[in-house]
Structure 1
Amino acid sequence: MTDNAATRAAAARKLWRYAGMLAAAALLCGVLLGGLSAWFLGSVAIAGLTSAAYSFNVHIPGALVRLFAVGRTAARYGERLAGHHAALADQTTHRVGLFEAMAAAPAVRGAGWQLADQARLADYLDDVEDLDLARLRADLPALLLAAGLIGALIATAFVAPLALTPIIALLCALGAMAQQLARAGATSWAQTRLLRRQAAQQFGAALTSAVPLQAEKAWAGRCTDALGRFSQAEEAQHALRLAQAGLDALASLLGPVAGVSIFAAAWFAGARGEALLIPAFLAFSWIALAETAQGPSRMVVAALRRRAAKAEIERWIGTATQPAHSPTRSPAGLTALHTSMQRRAPDRRPLGARLTLALTAGRPTILTGASGAGKTSLLKQIAGWIGQDSMESETGPLSAEDRRRMAMFCPHDAAILTDTVRANLFAPALPDEELWQALEAVEMADRIDAAGGLDGWIAQDMLSLGEAQRLNLARAWLSTKPLILLDEPTEHLRADQGQRILARLVERLDDRIVVMSSHNATGLPDAATIRL
């Protein structure tokens, strides 16, 4: 730690001590104000019924009431000033170390997400704020509340010990509910964060890729899915707020329950008249203590948000343990498809005579013909995007809906989402090694490495047509679907490059049914060609 950092840390500790003392003074003045006010009113009432009213001195307790009221207000403002000053001092020290660590993290440095990924940037800023202010929002209030409760319980044990039973029972219920809120709240908050980020990324990517997505008739589905995730995030947040409201409602009973219990215990112990003044002081002190401790759910939520923020930031700076990747899922069993279908245009018009198809795994099928012959439409029909044809497989008939689930369709002008390279590869569960293998196979590894790696940010206009096509073929390489449909896979590529990449891809997919369209036969060995 440098001399400047050590000086800042020492200054912050000093400010936190001031803030703690002022907060303790505010709590003490509030408790004494509540207890003394009740004692004062009770004393005046009792003295007013006797001759003692003529000699009762109201000036000293009245002055103390005003003193505690002014002291509570002054201490609260002082605690706010000192506490926020201390929090800002902590921010300086904390953020210097945080940014230094992030600057040294290869993943963050390579991705450049701070400038491009607005959803992650917004989450990051929220996380830093949750870390910076957790001490002010959670630690200091919880420490003061614990000290106040210990003092009040000790005083109750001396004045009205029978009242401890309902008070401790309520405190135990509050503790159990707070633990339940912490567990359920952590899950709800993590779900809320994930859904909001996914929704923002999907919706932003859909907006920036509106034209190609509409051409592929995927625009409505992308938008509906994104907005649905926003709704799910709000539902998770609503569940957290309901849990908070339940804890706060139970906490609001602490003052009344403690006050009534103390009065009842003192009354059953035989206290009458002036003997009730001390229990009244204690009872109203409990009420004042409970009033200052309103909203304990905020402390719990601040603590769980700090844990979530710390884990997320540690992940970015490379200190968190990365979860193990799930193994690659093998494709579903599908080795043959055959049918006699009526070809149709996208508007469902019939095209030409019926066509007999026999598609086999390990032997790619190439659809050739001039532009407008219906090659792309036939691929979409095989994929189940057009019409309701049924195709026979070794396990029985497959409807259009079945084939939509089993097919990976790669259009020749596929959309490049405004997102990371990793997100654009559509294989989030696969390890980085497999993603890089796919990029090397389509001769895009060097280009992606120069752009920032798998977490680099890309958009439609950042890639040439050939680069976008090769990224599209990498999606097919990584797909686990048993039916792979490639629309003009070598378009926008040099002839020799297209042949190399296609040969690698067909070899990779030799256990799948592969159908592709091309203006001319590609020269792949053992390929079946259908001219339209």
Structure 2
Amino acid sequence: MTASAATFNFHVPSAFIRLFAIGRTAARYGERLLGHKAALSDQIHRRVDLFAAMATAPAVRSASWQLGDEARLADYVDDVDDVDYACLRARLPLLTLAMGFAALLIGCAIIAPLSLLPIVITLSLGVIVVRRLTETGAVVWSRARLQRRDGTERLGAIMASAVSLKAERLWNEQCQLAMSAFCEADGQISALRRLQSGFDALASLIGPIAAFSVVVAAWLAGARGETMLLPIALGFAWLALGEAMNGASRILVANLRRDAAWMEIRKWKRDAEALASCSAGKTPVELRQELLQRISPTGAPIGNRPIALCLRPGFPTILVGTSGSGKSSLLKQIAGWIGEDIFDGPEASLSAAQRRVTTTLVLHDATILEDTVRGNLFDPAGDDETMWRALATVELDTRMRDAGGLDAWIRQDMLSLGEAQRLNLARALLAHTPVVLLDEPTEHLDAAQGQRILARLTEQLNDRVLVISTHRAICLRNSTILEL
């Protein structure tokens, strides 16, 4: 105990400094370990929520399940990373700094009240600089995002047309235009970093100014000898907090990136009011639109004249047309994923947002998740008997039993196109919406099997609105054929 007492005797300045250094190091690494664990755990839940929002967003549905545009998915992934980065590098450190400032200001008020004046003046200047950096940085970061996106789009278009551009001697010119957009974005980032350096210079002065103010204020108040130990300890605490303020501008920039990312992410999210405005008591049993102008996912009109639709339960509507005739686009339009058309229901009109809530759109490009059979049926609340019945309806129950049952792990390359298509149709059977839309449900099935499965589907979905698109006319009971 004698050696320990001598090493950490707070009456000896060098021992006091050693004790302070060890405590600061333990606190720093403890905060990092606990903070990183909490942040990373939080990120797992956040990423699940964000990507679930993207999967149900109108932009995704209108572009099909492949998203249609890889740049759109890349932007979304970058935005999710910005949100995660702000959680890890901004929210937790900012909370720690706020608690430290509060504790030290209370300590100054008790031990050396006179020191509060220069400290408050310095902090006020810091607040002014923070506001300026936040306002200017938001504009700069938004411009940089737009310029980078423009450069990426230009470069992607150039790479896709490399041969023709080189043949026409336009390759160098177009590449320079694309690279100039990236250069302008880098210029914006450089301007933001110059603002950061000014803020960091001011932030680095907070600790020394506060520590010096505390010691001087205590001295002027008459503290001498051992009574100076508490002011000196408080001064060292300010120095430690000032050291933690190094690079504080990164916290502000992380918040700027987070805010810009959230603005983009909100564009993906489903209209919240749709869920509230279309309650279970108002689910449609009939949809009518007498003058529907068909449109493509980009909004361009299809066809020269509007069409009339009357969709009723028990009377399947079959859309027949060649590839490119707009069958899939019409299904998306009925489902509310493209356009803003109003359909008449039995009690009230339904907007596109309301139809999205009450409609299941089963596209022909079936996606098989790397998950269990149960997970791929998209009915987490369903019981085993119902799931097996649905698989039997689409003639897939034997195949899934051989694979290991409902809890067997499957992925895309384990199923043929026909098996993936039939699994997709089983999802339609297990959907709990009053409107079901099937996009070319027999595309990868032979004629006899497709006819059998569709007949069973029609019978089991008899109480719901059913619309089917197909290349060739099919015969179903009470069906109405609409040629496009």
- Place the TM-score, normalised by the shorter chain, in its bin: 0.5 to 0.7
Does residue 171 of the first structure (1) align with residue 123 of the second (2)? Answer: yes
Structure ID, larger Rg: 1
- Given that residues 262 and 283 in structure 1 are in contact (C-alpha distance below 8 angstroms), is that contact kept between their aligned partners in structure 2? yes
- Give, in whole Å, the separation in 1 of the partners of 2:56 and 2:298: 24
Q: Report how far residue 174 of structure 1 moved.
A: 0.9
Indicate the SS of the match to 2:189.
helix
- Give, in whole Å, the separation in 2 of the partners of 1:186 and 1:165: 32
1:304 to 226, 231, 256: 256
Indicate the SS of the match to 1:294.
coil
Q: Report how far residue 435 of structure 1 moved.
A: 6.0
Give matches, 1:98-177, under 5 Å.
Answer: 98-111=50-63, 117-177=69-129
2:174 to 199, 222, 243: 222
Give matches, 1:328-477, under 5 Å.
Answer: 436-437=299-300, 446=326, 449=329
2:188 to 216, 236, 239: 236
Residue type of the alignment partner of 2:83: L
CA offsets, 1:277-336, max 9 Å, x none? 332222222112211232221211121211111111111234599xxxxxxxxxxxxxxx
What TM-score results when the alignment is normalised by the length of structure 2? 0.52
- Give, in whole Å, the separation in 1 of the partners of 2:18 and 2:297: 73
* Corresponding residue of 1:210: 162
- Given that residues 436 and 445 in structure 1 are in contact (C-alpha distance below 8 angstroms), is that contact kept between their aligned partners in structure 2? no
Q: Report how far residue 218 of structure 1 moved.
A: 4.4
Does residue 262 of the first structure (1) align with residue 214 of the second (2)? Answer: yes
Question: Tell me, which stretches of 5 or more residues in structure 1 are unaligned?
Answer: 1-35, 46-60, 322-431, 456-532
Q: Report how far residue 145 of structure 1 moved.
A: 1.0
- Given that residues 256 and 287 in structure 1 are in contact (C-alpha distance below 8 angstroms), is that contact kept between their aligned partners in structure 2? yes
- Given that residues 170 and 254 in structure 1 are in contact (C-alpha distance below 8 angstroms), is that contact kept between their aligned partners in structure 2? yes
- Give, in whole Å, the separation in 2 of the partners of 1:138 and 1:448: 45
- Given that residues 54 and 269 in structure 2 are in contact (C-alpha distance below 8 angstroms), is that contact kept between their aligned partners in structure 1? yes
Sort the Cα spacing of 1:83 and 1:259 in 2 relative to 1 into closer, same or farther, 3 A: closer
Does residue 284 of the first structure (1) align with residue 236 of the second (2)? Answer: yes
1:251 to 199, 203, 215: 203
Q: Report how far residue 235 of structure 1 moved.
A: 0.5
- Give, in whole Å, the separation in 2 of the partners of 1:102 and 1:283: 50
* Corresponding residue of 1:94: 46
- Given that residues 297 and 338 in structure 2 are in contact (C-alpha distance below 8 angstroms), is that contact kept between their aligned partners in structure 1? no
- Give, in whole Å, the separation in 1 of the partners of 2:272 and 2:176: 34
Q: Report how far residue 260 of structure 1 moved.
A: 1.9
Which stretch has the larger CA shift, 155-164 or 104-113? Answer: 104-113
What TM-score results when the alignment is normalised by the length of structure 1? 0.48
Q: Report how far residue 444 of structure 1 moved.
A: 7.2
* Corresponding residue of 2:398: none
Q: Report how far residue 115 of structure 1 moved.
A: 6.3
- Given that residues 58 and 338 in structure 2 are in contact (C-alpha distance below 8 angstroms), is that contact kept between their aligned partners in structure 1? no
Sort the Cα spacing of 1:294 and 1:281 in 2 relative to 1 into closer, same or farther, 3 A: same
Residue type of the alignment partner of 2:38: A
Alignment: residue pair count: 290
Please give the root-mean-square deviation of Cα atoms over the aligned residues, in Å.
Answer: 3.7
* Corresponding residue of 1:361: none
Indicate the SS of the match to 1:317.
coil
Identity among equivalent positions (%) equals 48
- Give, in whole Å, the separation in 1 of the partners of 2:176 and 2:122: 46
- Give, in whole Å, the separation in 2 of the partners of 1:309 and 1:202: 22
Residue type of the alignment partner of 1:197: R
Give matches, 1:21-40, under 5 Å.
Answer: 40=10
Sort the Cα spacing of 1:84 and 1:259 in 2 relative to 1 into closer, same or farther, 3 A: closer
CA offsets, 1:422-458, max 9 Å, x none? xxxxxxxxxx9996446657x9773994999999xxx
- Give, in whole Å, the separation in 1 of the partners of 2:300 and 2:248: 52
- Give, in whole Å, the separation in 2 of the partners of 1:302 and 1:206: 32
- Give, in whole Å, the separation in 2 of the partners of 1:171 and 1:216: 61
- Give, in whole Å, the separation in 1 of the partners of 2:138 and 2:195: 12
Q: Report how far residue 146 of structure 1 moved.
A: 1.2
- Give, in whole Å, the separation in 2 of the partners of 1:86 and 1:273: 44
- Give, in whole Å, the separation in 1 of the partners of 2:125 and 2:55: 46
CA offsets, 1:224-252, max 9 Å, x none? 22111000000011111111111111000
Indicate the SS of the match to 1:295.
coil
Residue type of the alignment partner of 2:257: R
Sort the Cα spacing of 1:234 and 1:249 in 2 relative to 1 into closer, same or farther, 3 A: same
Does residue 199 of the first structure (1) align with residue 79 of the second (2)? Answer: no
Q: Report how far residue 118 of structure 1 moved.
A: 4.1
* Corresponding residue of 2:320: none
